[in-house]
């Protein structure tokens, strides 16, 4: 789904994006305090996940509450390496 990712281990923030970040035209947040970015068609194109490694190690997953959907990720593979 996301073809661009960057994990900043110094601040434990994971950035995920479809295409380049400049494709986002709208921004919002999740109930968990993360940031979401949307393209011109309203589709989700980016996520900024705070405390990504900490949350994954503590809970074994990262949960994100998005408008009208709930997303749970338990395998971020190489994104956090």
Which has more pLDDT, 9 or 21? 9
In the chain, the number of structural domains is: 1
Which has more pLDDT, 71 or 80? 80
| Structural domain for 49, as ranges | 4-80
Which pLDDT score, from 0 to 100, does residue 55 have? Answer: 94
pLDDT in tens, 33-68: 999 998 888 888 999 999 999 999 999 999 988 766
Identify whether the C-beta of residue 28 lies closer than 8 Å to the C-beta of residue 18.
no
Find the mean pLDDT for residues 72-80.
Answer: 66
The CA-based dihedral angle spanning residues 74, 3, 43, 68, taken in that order and rounded to the nearest 10 degrees: 0
């Amino acid at each position: 789904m996301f073809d661009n990712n960057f994990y900043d281990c110094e601040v434990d923030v994971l950035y995920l994006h479809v295409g380049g970040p400049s494709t986002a035209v709208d921004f919002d947040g999740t109930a968990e305090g993360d940031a979401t970015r949307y393209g011109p068609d309203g589709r989700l194109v980016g996520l900024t996940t705070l405390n990504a490694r900490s949350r994954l190690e503590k809970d074994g997953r990262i949960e994100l509450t998005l408008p009208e959907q709930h997303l749970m990720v338990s395998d971020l593979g190489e994104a956090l390496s």
